[in-house]
Amino acid sequence: MSFLSQTLARVKPSPTIAMTGRARELAAEGRDIISLSAGEPDFDTPLHVREAAKAAIDAGHTRYTAVDGIPELKAAICDKFRRENGLDYAPSQVTVGTGGKQILYNALMATLNPGDEVIIPAPYWVSYPDMVLLAGGTPVIVEGEMQNGYRITPEQLEGAITPRTKWVIMNSPSNPTGAGYSEEHLRGLTDVLMRHPQVWVLADDIYEHLVFDDFRFATPAQVEPGLKDRTLTMNGVSKAYAMTGWRIGYGAGPETLIRAMAKLQSQSTSNPCSISQYAALAALTGPQDYIRTSREVFERRRDLVVAGLSECPGIVCPKPEGAFYVYPSIRDLIGKTSAGGTRIETDEDFASALLDETGVAVVFGAAFGLSPHFRISYATSDEILTDAVARIRRFCEGTR
Ligand code: PLP
């Protein structure tokens, strides 16, 4: 009998973390590597946030806190939802965890029974299906096609709902495509959900602040208040304030769900890091200019990458509404052979050959449930991106 659990056998390690690790190993061997695989802003955490964390240490905020967050932070989260999303939540409807990831994990663990289905639009963030599997549920994948801006349609959603559907996970702007659902797009989906009262909505709004051009962010509970009683609105400070390492995420929803999630957290990690909670408090309540600055930088980089990739033979690169990813198609490269002699049958072959022959690390589309594509994270400097795009172009030009 295996020592490791059968549950664990159902899931795979995160491919994005694996790709980042492989790029790091090659760099350690002295190879000239550009890693475009990590999903984190390349900026420093804003100064006032770092100072708040130091002050928290000096003030002795170094002990256990309430399991799912200090009251001051919960109050600041309620203010944030009111201010930015027009959503009214009481502190008892708010939970704070070790990253948005733990919020999602807690929600699924606290609610799924064997056979429960969770609708996940593809391409999806790599962790969703595996979290559902870990929690004993069944992921139901619905493909958002490139010609629909990678968004699923109301008809597709309707077709995927069964009496066993417990959740639908929405993520806008999306990792890995950067695609955003406007209020109008969301309205189409929320109208469907209003007809299916057994389905709850898990809104992953972690990229809320990274939206470009005239795209306006919207979240399901705001678009359709009739869904608020069965929506968990999740967000966090990782991407909005360059705080990935601090590990603070939060969610708001009905109290029964929030209490169940806190019970689970009380028997796993207990409170998220006390010092990080004070840092997150400063991020949410302090000056917000970091958000605008980073948005401008990311928008410029998006334009740089989309323009560069659009000149690569065999690549089609849609222009995303937000986040810091692009998700180009390589359909026209399938069946070709790279200059280094690799036959490209899949997007995984493409990503491996690209890394071996040019030193550029990207994540292949199969990891996100839609092929043949690859994901680039453009959360790195303009110079590095320009170099990377030039290498990708040479790679594409070299295929036969
Ligand atoms: N949701 C999406 C779509 C993400 O891309 C990420 C991080 O990559 C997360 C949630 C989790 O972020 P964190 O746990 O750092 O808050």
- The complex scores an ipTM of 0.99
- Residue 101 near ligand 1, beta carbon < 6 Å: yes
The structural domains of the chain, ordered by start, are 6-44+290-398 (3.90.1150.10), 63-285 (3.40.640.10)
Task: In whole angstroms, give the CA distance from residue 242 to residue 246.
Answer: 9
Phi/psi at 95 (5° precision): -135, 145
Task: In whole angstroms, give the CA distance from residue 9 to residue 133.
Answer: 10
Task: In whole angstroms, give the CA distance from residue 53 to residue 237.
Answer: 14
- Using the predicted structure, report yes or no on whether residue 9 has a pLDDT greater than 90: no
- Cα distance from N-terminal residue to C-terminal residue, the chain: 49
**What six digits make up the tokens of 290?**
């970091």
Task: In whole angstroms, give the CA distance from residue 167 to residue 10.
Answer: 20
**What six digits make up the tokens of 138?**
């069944």
Best of 124, 127, 375 for a ligand 1 pocket test (most atoms within 8 Å of beta carbon): 127
Across residues 272-301, what is the average pLDDT?
A: 97
Task: In whole angstroms, give the CA distance from residue 307 to residue 213.
Answer: 16
Q: How far is the CA of 101 from the centre of ligand 1 (A)?
A: 6
Residue 323 — very low, low, confident or very high, per pLDDT cuts 50/70/90? Answer: very high
- Residue 173 near ligand 1, beta carbon < 6 Å: no
Q: How far is the CA of 333 from the centre of ligand 1 (A)?
A: 30
- Using the predicted structure, report yes or no on whether residue 75 has a pLDDT greater than 80: yes
What is residue 321's predicted lDDT score, i.e. its pLDDT? 98
Q: Is 248 helix (H, G, I), strand (E, B) or coil?
A: coil
The 3-state secondary structure of 132-170 reads HHHCCCEEEEEECCHHHCCCCCHHHHHHHCCCCEEEEEE
Amino acid found at 378: Y
Task: In whole angstroms, give the CA distance from residue 179 to residue 149.
Answer: 6
- Residue 249 near ligand 1, beta carbon < 6 Å: yes
Q: How far is the CA of 54 from the centre of ligand 1 (A)?
A: 25
- Residue 325 near ligand 1, beta carbon < 6 Å: no
Q: How many CA atoms lie within 13 A of 265 on its CB side?
A: 28
- Residue 244 near ligand 1, beta carbon < 6 Å: yes
- Residue 125 near ligand 1, beta carbon < 6 Å: yes
pLDDT in tens, 338-352: 999 999 999 999 999
Arithmetic mean of pLDDT over the chain: 96
Q: How many CA atoms lie within 13 A of 141 on its CB side?
A: 15
Best of 14, 20, 128, 175 for a ligand 1 pocket test (most atoms within 8 Å of beta carbon): 175
pTM check: above 0.90: yes
- Using the predicted structure, report yes or no on whether residue 225 has a pLDDT greater than 90: yes
Task: In whole angstroms, give the CA distance from residue 334 to residue 350.
Answer: 8
Task: In whole angstroms, give the CA distance from residue 375 to residue 288.
Answer: 29
- Using the predicted structure, report yes or no on whether residue 301 has a pLDDT greater than 80: yes
Q: Are 337 and 400 in contact (CB under 8 A)?
A: yes
- Using the predicted structure, report yes or no on whether residue 384 has a pLDDT greater than 90: yes
- Residue 220 near ligand 1, beta carbon < 6 Å: no
pLDDT in tens, 129-176: 999 999 999 999 999 999 999 999 999 999 999 999 999 999 999 999
Q: Is 165 exposed, middle or buried (0-12, 13-18, 19+ CB in 10 A)?
A: buried
Phi/psi at 96 (5° precision): -120, 135
- Residue 46 near ligand 1, beta carbon < 6 Å: no
- Residue 100 near ligand 1, beta carbon < 6 Å: yes
Across residues 310-332, what is the average pLDDT?
A: 98
Best of 206, 276, 277 for a ligand 1 pocket test (most atoms within 8 Å of beta carbon): 206
Residue 13 — very low, low, confident or very high, per pLDDT cuts 50/70/90? Answer: confident
Task: In whole angstroms, give the CA distance from residue 369 to residue 367.
Answer: 6
- Residue whose tokens read 């968004």: 151
Per-residue CA distances from 62 to 97, 271, 273, 278, 286 (Å): 17, 11, 8, 10, 22
Task: In whole angstroms, give the CA distance from residue 125 to residue 135.
Answer: 17
